[in-house]
Each structure stands twice: as structure tokens, then as C-alpha cells.
Amino acid sequence: MAIENSHVTADVVEVTEFPPLVERYAIRGVPKTVINDSVEFVGSASEAQFIGYLQRAVAPAPN
């Protein structure tokens, strides 16, 4: 998505080189994807699953 849309950024991090990120995101398995610091998942996801994660990440918070 980051390649196709300039409003999306992505970073790939070698977790052994950044222990503070391991703690911050409680990384216990890889790959781990974090979207907007609100939705995260470990492992691969189908396209449909990934779209679902994106929708959850951008949905307005319930009142």
C-alpha cells in the first residue's frame, strides 16, 4: 500500500537491533504489523483480512 499511495508509510525493522520497539509493541513473533498504533496482528494475512484490519484502524472510536 505504501508503494501505491503517498499517504501511507511503512517501515521494516530488524527487531534485534531496536529493543525499545520490541518493548513498545510487545513483539513476540514476526512478522508483526501495526496500523496507526491501534490495530496489530502477527503473521501473514489474506487481502480480505488485511482490508478488515485497515478498516478497524481507521474507524472512528465509539462514543
Mean pLDDT by 10-residue block, N- to C-terminus, for the chain (63 residues)? Answer: 90 92 92 94 95 93 76
Range of the domain at 53: 1-63
Number of structural domains found in the chain: 1
Q: Which residue from 58, 52, 10, 6 is spatially nearest to 41, judged by alpha carbons? A: 52
> Any residues with CB less than 8 A from the CB of 39 and at least 6 apart, and which?
53, 54, 56, 57
Q: For residues 63 and 57, what is the distance between their CA atoms, to the nearest angstrom?
A: 16
Question: Would you call 53 helix, strand, or coil by DSSP?
Answer: helix
pLDDT of residue 44: 94
**Residue 39 pLDDT:** 96
Spatial separation of the C-alpha atoms in residues 12 and 25, rounded to whole Å: 14
